[in-house]
Amino acid sequence: MASDVTVAFELAGLCSPLVTYGVWRVRYLVGLAPEERAGLRLARRAERTWVELAQSLGLKWEEPTAGKRDFRWMSDPRLPQGRMPAVEVPKFRARPIAGGFTARVGTLPGIGLAEVQKQAEHLRNAWRCERVTVEQDVPGVLKVRAVLTDPLTEPYVPERRTSWA
């Protein structure tokens, strides 16, 4: 039989670090405003899908002479012989903001500001957000900002005051 102290510790989450972390995380998320939670979800989705999205949009650098040796051609003559090209995508780190996220994207040879700006519309569609802007932060690093709603398209409604005092 479990003692009352053990049950109290289990209920408090002190016996399991995962439970304690879960409780802390839920309290953090509950304290956020809805637009901050939306920005956090968007930032997580963008980081999770970045590698596949960058490769499909052509934001990748291939080194044809370096890479893994592909030996599958020995068993299947229809496959090409030689090395598989080494493929790199720019590094991507997103930070959530209210209603979206900002990300720092590294550059690679042949992938700079102009190439990422050309793909901004496709990034906007893939992340399902209202606007994506790309600008040069420092040499070798781009700043990508994605927002779910455009504040300039929403009508401004001033709050009503009951008195001027």
Instruction: Note if the pTM is more than 0.75.
Output: no
d(CA 93, CA 75) in angstroms, rounded, equals 41
pLDDT in tens, 100-126: 999 999 999 899 999 999 999 999 999
Question: Domains in the chain, please, with CATH?
Answer: 33-61+89-147 (3.30.980.40)
pLDDT in tens, 27-75: 777 777 888 888 999 999 999 999 999 999 999 988 776 656 555 555 6
Contacts of 129 by beta carbon, 8 Å cutoff, 6+ apart: 42, 100, 146, 147, 148
